Structure formats: structure tokens, C-alpha cells
Amino acid sequence: MSKPPKPGDGTGEAVQPHYLGHRERARERFRTVGGEALADYELLELMLHMIIPQRDTKQLAKDLIARFGSFSDVLSASPLRLKEMKGLGETSIAHIKVVQAVAQRYGRDQIVRDQPILSSWTQLLDYFKGQMAYEDIEQFRILFLDKKNKLIADEVQQTGTVDHTPVYTREVIRRSLELSATAIILVHNHPSGDPTPSAADIRMTKEINDVARPLGIVLHDHIIIGRKGHVSLRSQNLF
């Protein structure tokens, strides 16, 4: 009596992994409703399909969201923290960080087009959020603008701790003069998630503004970014 064919032995059809059908349904859902309609874990699962094609990634996606909080939090998590998750190795973690870099580059390119920065304020805020809202240490960056308010440079000036970044007025002004910038926008994040400015934030902003103004450098705004939103010190009349 002949034996029944074994999966994949050439005598019959190989049994397909159970998750392949699920993956195709997930891709079809993405094609039908788009990424905006997907839950964070669903979008993350689709991304993990490409990074780890040889295994089911639905539970891993759910575990990552449960651990870090959101899709953006997963992308921004440090490699060290990602390595703590069962199912992620060095290669898959590197791929996750590549996706993060792609998203950040796309966001930057949306504001670098040949147009004044101030005419695309909503895109600018989206860019800041993507770059900084989910970082776990404070980061202070400056956008240097020319006389037409077009971007000359976007630079991270300082990084600090979870609740403090040292900012030196003389360095801000020196770099502005080096780049022949006639306007600047200051941005920093609050890893706590709450973008409410501190007394030190307000004091530093006023000091930079007081030194920049006589030199012909306009401080357009100081934006504080957090997971819970953003605060414009200009709109709050805080300098």
C-alpha cells in the first residue's frame, strides 16, 4: 500500500503556512480601505510581513503595540528596547529603524520643497511630531531660514536627558550668522508627552529672541512637541 504524500516531498502539494491566507486578506484590506483606516497593530503587522516574511507576525505586532503604546512609539523605540521583544533579532530591528528613517525623510522632503516654510505650517508640525514626539530624550533643533523664509538647514543642536536639554544662546546665534540665516524656528520635545512649556523654556526663548532681534534675525516661533500635542510659544504670547 502506498503511503500518503508528505507535505513538500514532491509527491503532493505542500501544505501552506496558515498565516499566508491571513496575510493576503490583510493586504486586500489595505488596498480597499487604505492605511488611515487600519488600527496601529494592523499597519504594524503589514510592515512586519515584509521584514519577517517567514513567520506569522500578528501576535508580535500586538505585543509591540502593548509594550510601546503606538505604531510611532514602536518605530522610535531604541534598538536596545526592541531587542527585549521575543521575535525580533538584529536584522529585523535594523529594518524597523530603516522604516523610521524613510518616514522621517519623507516628512522632511514635504517641507523642503521650494516654498516658504511658513506657508506649510501644518506639514511642518507633522514633520516635527514624526521626528521628535516619540523620542525618549529631549532634543533641541533649529530650522534656519533665508529672507524668503525658505529652509537653509534643519539641525539638531543639542540632545539631553529625559527632562532637560542644555541650550546656549551664543551657539544658536553663532550658527545663525554662519548660515546667513535671517530667521529661525526653535523646536524641542518633551519626552513626558506633555508639551506645556516650563519656566526655563520661556526664559531661554526670551533670551534668544532678545539677542537675535538686534542682529536682524527673526525668531518666528519656539514649538514644543509632545505625544499629547504641541504648544507654540508665539501663539501663547510667551516671548
Q: Render 130-144 in DSSP notation, one character per residue.
A: HHHTT-SS-EEEEEE
pLDDT tens digits, 41-94: 999 999 998 999 888 889 999 999 999 988 988 998 889 999 999 999 999 999
In the numeric block, the cell 503595540 is attached to 65
Residues 226, 198: contact at Cβ < 8 Å?
Answer: no
Residues 132, 98: contact at Cβ < 8 Å?
Answer: no
In the numeric block, the cell 522621517 is attached to 104
pLDDT tens digits, 85-95: 999 999 999 99
What grid cell was written down for 177?
550668522
Checking if the pLDDT of 201 tops 90, the result is: yes
Question: What's the CA angle centered on 161, arms 40 and 223, to 5 degrees?
Answer: 65
Share of the chain above pLDDT 70, in %: 87
pTM of the model: 0.67
Looking at residue 16, its pLDDT comes to 53
**CB 57: neighbour CB atoms within 10 A?**
26
Q: How confident is the model at residue 19 (pLDDT cuts 50, 70, 90)?
A: low
Residue-range domains of the chain with CATH = 19-104 (1.10.150), 116-232 (3.40.140.10)
C-alpha distances (whole Å) from 104 to each of 97, 108, 125, 189 are 11, 6, 13, 16
Checking if the pLDDT of 228 tops 80, the result is: yes
Provide CB contacts within 8 A for 75, sequence distance 6+. Answer: 96, 97, 99, 100, 103, 134
d(C-alpha 159, C-alpha 139), whole Å? 4
Q: Which residues pair with 225 in a beta bridge?
A: 189, 230
In the numeric block, the cell 523642503 is attached to 112
Q: Judging by DSSP bridges, how do beta strands 183-189 and 218-226 pair with one another?
A: parallel
Residues 14, 7: contact at Cβ < 8 Å?
Answer: yes
Residues 117, 111: contact at Cβ < 8 Å?
Answer: yes
